[in-house]
Amino acid sequence: MLKYVTKPDMNTQQLSYGDPIFANIKDCFAKGNYQLGMSIIQATPPPQEWIIELPSKSRQGDSYKTIPIDIMEAAMKIIFGSAGISRIKDPIITQDRQGRFAATVIVEYFYNHPAQSNYAVLLPGIATVSSPDICMLELATPKASSMAVKNAIKQLGDLFGKSLNKSEEETEIPLEPEERKVSHEEYINSIADQVLTCKTIEDLKSYRLLVYNKKTPTHIQELYEQRLRTLKKIL
C-alpha cells in the first residue's frame, strides 16, 4: 500500500486511483528499466477519477478537462520521491490597448531523475491569465502560477494530462497575436504612449503596476510622475 504525504484538504481517495500505475512505474525503476517507466508516464492516460471539467475562458460555452494541481504534485512525489518548484520568476504584468491586464508567470519545476536520485531534471512552465481590471490582478497572479506548474508537469506525458485537450491549451488567450512578437522597445514605447494619453488621474493610476515593474526603465517612471503632476494641476 502506497503512503501519501498530501495537503490536509487533498482527496487522498482520488489520488489512490493511480496506485496501479504508480506501482508499475516504480517497479520499472526498481529493476533499472527507466526508459520503460518513463514510457508508461508518457503513454498512459490519467485515471478518470483524477479528471475534472471546467468552463473555458477563451471559448464561451465550452469547457476543458484538467487534473487538480494537488493531485499532479502528489503523483510527482510518489513517482520520483522528490519534486517541486525550484524557481519562480517575478510575475510580468501587461496591459493591452483595450485596457485588459494580464499576469504572466514563469516557473522551473524539478524532479529527481530515477536513475540518479541526486540529479534533478528541470521542466519549464509558463502561463498567462488575463484580468478585466487592475483590481483583479491579485487573483490572476496565483492562478497563473498554478497553471504554469501544471504546464511544466504536463510535458512528462499523458498521465499528467498532456493529451486531455487536443484543441485547446489550458491557458488564456494571449494579449498579442501569436504571429507577431512585440520587441522590448515596442513594448516600452507603447507604455509611454498610453501614459501620455491618459486624461484623468484615475486612468493614469491604473498603469502604476505596469510602470513600476522591475523590467520597466526609470525614464518611463519619470514620465509617469510628470504626467501625474500635470493632471493634478489641470484637474
Under the banding of pLDDT at 50, 70 and 90, the label for residue 196 is confident
Cβ–Cβ < 8 Å for 175, 94: yes
Residue 197 has pLDDT above 90, yes or no: no
CATH 2.40.420.20: does it fit domain 12-177?
no
The predicted pLDDT at position 188 comes to: 74
- Predicted local distance difference test score (pLDDT) of residue 10: 55
pLDDT value at residue 109:
94
Span 34-41, average pLDDT: 95
Residues 134-189 have pLDDT tens digits of: 667 767 888 888 899 999 999 999 999 998 876 544 444 343 433 333 456 766 77
User: What's the rounded Cα separation, in Å, for the pair 21 and 79?
Assistant: 10
Instruction: Name beta bridge partners: 129.
Output: 103
Determine contact, residues 123/153, Cβ cutoff 8 Å.
yes
Instruction: Read off the pLDDT of residues 107-144 as tens digits, 9 standing for 90 and up.
Output: 999 999 888 877 889 999 999 888 877 667 767 888 88
Beta-carbon contacts of residue 157 (< 8 Å; ≥ 6 apart): 38, 41, 42, 43, 44
What's the whole-number average pLDDT of the chain? 81
121 bridge partner residues: 111
